[in-house]
Amino acid sequence: MNIVLVGMPGSGKSTVSYRLSKILNRKVIDTDCEIVKKYGEINKIFSECGEEKFRDIETEIIKECSALNGVIISTGGGSILREENVKSLKLNGKIIYLYATPETLLKRIEDNTDRPLLKNGAKEKLTPLFVCRAPIYEKAADFKIITDGLTPEQICKKITELEL
């Protein structure tokens, strides 16, 4: 059974996945890193090919990752926008939604403006993105962990206490 982390940009998916891998002795598959390895920089894909092409690539990578067993999958923030991806991830995994308020997310990402959908105005773009995506994360998730005010270690502890 895979552990799948989903959530908004800045929710802690990457950080938590790598810390959790040390605790559980499991390999981490970061879908964004896999996309970069296979196709190049995400920003370049967005700018040259558009979001739809990026989502096609993401779907391909998610199918590959979902076929594995016993790994931790850290997904891109928009990975759950396609029902097809959610179905793939659930075939062999439990989806954990790392929830954080828009205020917390902004604090966490304010120094990283290299996110394609939040470029040139993360503050103005993040809340509408959150409002759009939050119900989709909720629907897709098997578990939800509220991460506001928690350290990555505390989040990992909550995950290890789940019945996975």
Going from the C-alpha of 141 to that of each of 44, 70, 89, 99, the distances in angstroms are: 30, 18, 10, 11
Q: Would you state the pLDDT for residue 119?
A: 58
CB 106 within 8 A of CB 122: yes
The pTM (predicted TM-score) of the whole model is 0.92
- Written in H, E and C, the secondary structure of 65-87 is HHCCCCCEEECCCCHHHCHHHHH
- Quick: pLDDT tens for 53-71: 999 999 999 999 999 999 9
- Quick: pLDDT tens for 117-126: 555 556 677 8
> Angle at CA 88, nearest 5°, toward 160 and 108?
50
- Does 113 have pLDDT greater than 90? no
Q: Phi and psi (nearest 5°) for 65? A: -65, -40
For residue 99, the SS3 value is strand
